């Protein structure tokens, strides 16, 4: 996997991870403050934010691993900046990234259009919910409440991560800075 990654792709993943890592931290604190009022369900609405880097990086680089690695990197950056979720964020990032990666792997890394990006957001939601279910002790909550949380998280993953991610990628593509990456090559080939 690593062998056919160019260095500039890996450094790009890392820089995306830094930008999104900061955004993640901001939203973590928003979620925390809000959740004191309405409980852990406060995180669910904004959960899609935490999947963004997977989707943006994969849409640009288009190689196996380009969803999971930046997500783990963003988590590592959050740890390096220091916060009380700490190293366990790296595991959370790994799980979320694998969820997004699964959707892209299902298309054999051939399609990167909006439906696939939305499916990647949903995949990340499902994986991360399973992880949260274990660590957050959701099994102690009543099933309909858990189902509500899951529903909101899937919606958030689809809208914020999937649709929002595609908006970011298209905006970034329009600036012309992605010329050296797979997204530009494929768009050029497909162009009618």
Tell the smallest beta-carbon distance from residue 144 to another protein (Å): 9
The contact set with another protein (CB under 8 A) reads 2, 5-8, 10-19, 22, 28-29, 31-33, 35-42, 69, 73, 76-77, 79-88, 91, 134-137, 140-143, 145, 167-168, 171-172, 175, 177-178, 180
Q: What is the CA radius of gyration of the chain?
A: 16
Instruction: For another protein, give the closer residue by CB, 23 or 114.
Output: 23
Is-contact 93 72, C-beta < 8 A?
yes
Instruction: For another protein, give the closer residue by CB, 35 or 107.
Output: 35
Is-contact 161 116, C-beta < 8 A?
no
Tell the smallest beta-carbon distance from residue 93 to another protein (Å): 12
Tell the smallest beta-carbon distance from residue 81 to another protein (Å): 8
Alpha-carbon distance of 82 to 97, in angstroms, equals 21
| CA dihedral (26, 36, 83, 162) positive or negative | negative
């Amino acid at each position: 996997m690593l062998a056919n990654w160019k260095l500039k792709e890996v450094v790009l993943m890392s820089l995306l991870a830094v930008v999104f890592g900061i955004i993640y931290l901001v939203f973590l604190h928003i979620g925390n403050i809000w959740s004191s009022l309405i409980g852990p369900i406060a995180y669910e609405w904004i959960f899609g934010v935490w999947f963004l880097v997977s989707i943006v990086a994969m849409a640009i680089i288009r190689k196996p691993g380009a969803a999971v690695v930046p997500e783990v990197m963003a988590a590592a950056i959050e740890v390096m900046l220091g916060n009380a979720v700490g190293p366990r964020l790296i595991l959370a990032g790994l799980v979320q990234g694998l969820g997004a990666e699964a959707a892209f792997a299902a298309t054999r890394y051939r399609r990167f259009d909006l439906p696939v990006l939305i499916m990647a957001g949903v995949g990340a939601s499902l994986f991360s919910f399973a992880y949260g279910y274990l660590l957050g002790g959701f099994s102690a909550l009543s099933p309909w409440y858990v189902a509500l949380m899951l529903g909101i998280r899937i919606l958030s993953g689809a809208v914020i991560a999937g649709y929002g991610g595609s908006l970011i990628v298209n905006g970034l593509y329009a600036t012309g800075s992605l010329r050296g990456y797979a997204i530009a090559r494929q768009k050029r080939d497909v162009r009618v």
